Amino acid sequence: MRRLLWIPWRWWRRAAQLVLLIVFLWLFRRTEYSGAEQLAGGENILFRLDPLVGAAAMLAGRQVIAMFWPALVLVGLTLVLGRFFCGWVCPLGTLLDYFHGLLRPITRRTNELLRPRLAAASASSLRATRYFLLIAVLLAAVLAFPLVGLVDPFSLLVRGLTFVADPLLARAADACFAGSGDSWAGTVLQPFVKKHLLPFRPMVFYLTGVSAAILLVIFALELAARRFWCRWLCPAGALFGLLARRSLVKRIPVRVCKACGKCADLCRMDALDPAAGLSPHACTLCMECVDHCPKGIVQFGLGRKAKPEPRPVDLSRRGVLTGIAAGVAIPGAAIAARLGHESPVPPNLIRPPGVGEEKTFLSLCIRCGECMKVCPTNVLQPAIFEAGLAGIFSPRLVPRLVFEQSNCEYTCTLCSQVCPTGAIPRLTEELKHHHPSGKSYFDHNLCLPWAKETPCIRCEEMCPTPEKAIKIFNTFKITKDGEEVEIQQPFIDRELCVGCGICESNCTIEGTAGIRLQRIDAPDPGTEFLLKKPKRLGTPAAPPASR
Amino acid sequence: MDRREFLEQVAAWSAGACLATPVFNVQSIVAAERQAKGKSLLAVAKGKDYAALVAQVMKPLGGMAAFVSKDDRVVVKPNIGWDRTPEQGANTHPDVVKAIVQQCLDAGAKRVLVFDRTVNDARRCYVKSGIQAAVESIGDSRAQCVFQDQDKFVPVQIENAKSLKEFHFYKDALATECDCYINVPIAKHHCLSKLTIGMKNAMGVIGGNRGEIHKGIHQRIADLNLVIRSKLTIVDATRILLRNGPTGGKLEDVKVLDTLIASADPVAADAYATTLFGMKPEELGSTVAAAKLGLGEMDLSKVKIITA
């Protein structure tokens, strides 16, 4: 069948790409608080469709994660249809196609220029790179090291959109609408754009530059060759390719006509070789060869008789060995790098609520950035090296980054709803309050009522527990004028503390706060007594016994 | 224009733009009004139907039309600071807000804005307090419950302030953008300032670092009210929060009083509301400081109190 309903196949593919990209972006936009405690669901579907992420998380977490059932469906479809996901569905692939098309005047020339070199490289090492990455990711996962988040296309894409594109977009729109006032643009257009197209407010993240750089490189590689990332680097694509080796649906004929060879020139995935014919593990069913065949003899179908030449999956022995070596060496190096630390987990590395053991969390977390995207207060930030090399891009609470806003909201459970692997376990409000991942401690050398005998207790004001976890100890001081002034000194009942960090984010001291969140498993920091006694004019009162 | 002249003009204009912080002080306006009116008037009403209660408490003051004129730009400023439900008593009751907005619209207001600078995530507070839904349920495009725009916080100099000489204020709440500012606080316990009622509700229209206010809180709250002039204060004491304020969250700490207090005198309104907690007006530092600044009458014996 060369056309479907008289419409060329490549137009069907393009339509599917566009629709699915819009669906993806719509889901991305919906990954935000919108008035209900429960999200509609399905926001993280892209990750749950990804068999690479699923396999890596299950291997690393040593458990079967039922949430990945869509990936199983996709595996089944790939066994039948081949690597259609890469050509028809993947939002990164679609964006790369659009980017390539947008810069066609440039990409055409640069691609032409680099083609001979890349062909040579491709013949030797380039072709094996994606398999090497795939082996490294899976092997690292077996060693409970989460390498997948650093190379999985969806993690890279969603993080890039969350950390870079979204804040940029929001700020650009703000700049465009600045001063639009009572005009039509200000009263009609701006509210519409704000409500439907923009995030609620521009967020701020660590590692923005790194995320931007990774995406920029992936897009810039289009200058070298079309779909460079998908062709030679993407490990998820490599996995789809392996599944597609004996797919039922394939291009017929599997050979390339010797006289013409136009399709081999046209192929964006290197799937057609004038000599060897079709490589099913590379073909993404983009349908260009169907529509552009001068003789009109190419089509995709079940061709049981037409078996492609059995071709090795571009995987040299050297490639396999390097993959294995990297899969072992990277976790090995990371573990070695952390051996030097006396305490492996820094006390201020607070994980999202409900998260238990650090090791399990790190192996299950795929660094997709969904939790940081959905967090309404921007308190969830990617770790840099606080959790060791292995912890880069994993979420942590940073209560002081965005002043007065960075706290974990008392009733919010959104991060647990979007986590595709259960690294952040599914929470209810009650569960969340019973499983805090941190507790607050005062620093009596900074806290104003303790260190300077100045009234403050903003932390107590903010504390959200129905019975305040921060309690007040009333004392008096006699000023120089002989006046008796009441000082309210705060202390904390850590049984009641839910570790939300609102006290730290709102502490009136700038810089390091006078009350700080600590990991729940960290020892008492010992800051709840004064090292230097203030010049007290009256008699000092005994500090309350802390729990 | 030669180059020198051009540069001089650029320098002069940029200097002007930098220095031109608006100066606010409502003392003289308040003094003139108090002179003209004589004794401060305060209305108290009790009832279960909060919509009817608003009309009831406004009656002795001459109804909403006495405050809102035709084509006025009105700001109704409730407390929407917390991610709490109405019965938890941390935010102004949505029915009260709705009835006030409705009355402003009936009085011919051109625009009624409802907003607050929230402590918890604004979206959560607007939803959980029920206020967003209440304002939207009126179904009049003139009335809008809006999120604050970060670009609209402007620096303001506060003339005659004792402690807070300059701060950022929300533009839409300033007298330049708003003809009638109606303060609709809820009366609550607050550990540092003892109670939070009307004066402290001005915290919802200031920008910058609100922690600064906590350093000498009583005077600073009074200073804020030198800029924000509430033409009308309606204290929501339909239920008051006795302990664990201002956040609340425990229903045992909430006392249902079904009471509204209305007055054009913000100090008198706070002073009267203080008595609901069994306290004396002078126990509240911000009330004393505001009375000293001449913003109103705190001696309830000098206030004409009408039970409607």
Q: What is the DSSP string of A223-234?
A: GTSTTHIIIII-
User: Regarding predicted confidence, which is higher, A325 or A42?
Assistant: A42
Give the CA-trace dihedral at B208, B209, B210, B211, to 10 degrees.
-170
In our burial notation (b when 16+ CB lie closer than 10 A, e otherwise), range B116-128 reads bbbbbbbbbbbbb
From the centroid of its chain, how far is CA B49? 23
Give the C-alpha separation, A178 to B186, whole Å: 34
Give the C-alpha separation, B68 to A480, whole Å: 50
- Residues in chain A with CB shorter than 8 Å from the CB of B144 are none
**Which domains are present in chain A?**
3-29+42-301 (no CATH), 358-431 (3.30.70.20), 436-519 (3.30.70.20)
Q: Rg (Cα) of chain A, in Å, rounded?
A: 28
HEC sequence for A19-58: HHHHHHHHHHHHCCCCCCCCCCCCCCHHHHCCHHHHHHHH
From the centroid of its chain, how far is CA A191? 29
CB contact under 8 A, A461 and B192: yes
- Residues in chain B with CB shorter than 8 Å from the CB of A454 are 215
CB contact under 8 A, A178 and B151: yes
Give the C-alpha separation, A384 to A393, whole Å: 6
- On whether the pTM is more than 0.80, the answer is yes
pLDDT of residue A318: 66
Side chain identity at A422, as an amino acid letter? G
CB contact under 8 A, B209 and A403: yes
- The band of A124, judged by pLDDT with boundaries at 50, 70 and 90, is low
pLDDT in tens, A427-469: 999 999 999 999 999 999 999 999 988 888 999 999 999 999 9
| Residue A528 touches chain B, beta carbons under 8 Å | no
Give the C-alpha separation, A536 to A388, whole Å: 44
Give the C-alpha separation, B290 to B297, whole Å: 9
Q: Is residue A299 over pLDDT 70?
A: yes
Give the C-alpha separation, A375 to A380, whole Å: 7
pLDDT of residue A404: 65
Give the C-alpha separation, B137 to B128, whole Å: 15
Q: Which of A35, A457, A468 sits opposite B244 (nearest CB)?
A: A468
- Residues in chain A with CB shorter than 8 Å from the CB of B218 are none
Q: Assign 3-state DSSP to chain B and report helix, strand, coil percentages, each to 5.
A: 40, 25, 35
Size of interface A-B (CB pairs under 8 A): 81
CB contact under 8 A, B215 and A376: no
Q: At what angle do helices A129-142 and A51-61 cross, to 10 degrees?
A: 30
pLDDT of residue A375: 94
Indicate the SS3 state at residue A474: strand
Q: Are strands A7-8 and A3-4 parallel, antiparallel or unpaired?
A: antiparallel
CB contact under 8 A, A376 and B124: yes
- Residues in chain B with CB shorter than 8 Å from the CB of A510 are 209
Neighbours of A519 (CB within 10 A): 20
Residue ranges for chain B with pLDDT beneath 50:
none
CA angle A8, A284, A258 (to 5 degrees): 75
- Mean pLDDT in residue range A78-92: 94
| Cross-strand pairs, A397 | A350, A380
- The band of A536, judged by pLDDT with boundaries at 50, 70 and 90, is low
pLDDT of residue A57: 92
| Residue A404 touches chain B, beta carbons under 8 Å | yes
Chain A interface test: which of B150, B191, B220, B243 (most A C-beta within 10 Å): B191
CB contact under 8 A, B217 and A464: no
CB contact under 8 A, A508 and B212: yes
Indicate the SS3 state at residue B197: coil
- Residues in chain B with CB shorter than 8 Å from the CB of A203 are none
Residues 6+ apart with CB under 8 A from A444: A450, A451, A527, A528, A529, A530, A531, A543
User: Regarding predicted confidence, which is higher, A119 or A407?
Assistant: A407
Q: How far is A209 from chain B (nearest CA, A)?
A: 25
From the centroid of its chain, how far is CA A310? 38
CA atoms within 13 A on the CB side of B9: 6
| Residue A86 touches chain B, beta carbons under 8 Å | no
pLDDT in tens, A471-494: 998 888 887 788 888 889 999 999
Give the CA-trace dihedral at A33, A39, A42, A48, to 10 degrees.
80
In our burial notation (b when 16+ CB lie closer than 10 A, e otherwise), range B36-55 reads eeeebbbbbbebeebeebbb
CB contact under 8 A, B244 and A464: no
Q: Take residue A497 and report the two structure tokens written for it.
A: 């503390």
Give the C-alpha separation, A380 to B131, whole Å: 28
Give the C-alpha separation, A234 to A232, whole Å: 6
Q: Take residue A526 and report the two structure tokens written for it.
A: 């010992």
Q: What is the ipTM of this complex?
A: 0.89
Residues 6+ apart with CB under 8 A from B75: B112, B113, B114, B115, B172, B173, B178, B180, B181, B182
- Residues in chain A with CB shorter than 8 Å from the CB of B253 are 466
Looking at the structure, give the CATH architecture of the domain made up of residues B22-307.
3-Layer(aba) Sandwich (3.40)
Give the C-alpha separation, A488 to A475, whole Å: 6
Backbone phi and psi for residue B260, each to the nearest 5 degrees, phi listed first: -125, 145
Q: Is residue A547 over pLDDT 50?
A: no
Q: Which of A412, A464, A508 sits opposite B211 (nearest CB)?
A: A508
- The band of A338, judged by pLDDT with boundaries at 50, 70 and 90, is low
| Of A36-40, A180-184, A466-470, B9-13, the least confident | B9-13
Q: Which among A397, A417, A416 is positioned nearest to A408, based on CA atoms?
A: A397
Per DSSP, B11 falls in state H
Give the C-alpha separation, A299 to A240, whole Å: 21
CB contact under 8 A, B123 and A463: no
- Residues in chain A with CB shorter than 8 Å from the CB of B215 are 454-456, 508
CB contact under 8 A, B83 and A409: yes
- Residues in chain B with CB shorter than 8 Å from the CB of A35 are 123, 127
Give the C-alpha separation, B62 to A458, whole Å: 40
CB contact under 8 A, A410 and B120: yes
- Mean pLDDT in residue range A226-230: 92
CB contact under 8 A, B217 and A460: no
Q: Take residue B10 and report the two structure tokens written for it.
A: 């650029």
- Mean pLDDT in residue range A30-58: 91
Q: Which among B162, B180, B171 is positioned nearest to B286, based on CA atoms?
A: B162
CB contact under 8 A, B214 and A468: no
Give the C-alpha separation, A147 to B236, whole Å: 56
Sign of CA dihedral A119, A125, A127, A133: negative
Neighbours of B153 (CB within 10 A): 18
Contact indicator for B123, A375 with CB cutoff of 8 Å: no
| Residue A474 touches chain B, beta carbons under 8 Å | no
Q: How far is A212 from chain B (nearest CA, A)?
A: 26
| Residue A187 touches chain B, beta carbons under 8 Å | no
Chain B interface test: which of A30, A400, A410 (most B C-beta within 10 Å): A410
Side chain identity at A159, as an amino acid letter? R
Chain B interface test: which of A489, A491, A508, A515 (most B C-beta within 10 Å): A508
- Mean pLDDT in residue range A314-328: 69
Give the C-alpha separation, B78 to B83, whole Å: 14
Neighbours of B102 (CB within 10 A): 20
Give the C-alpha separation, A371 to A43, whole Å: 11
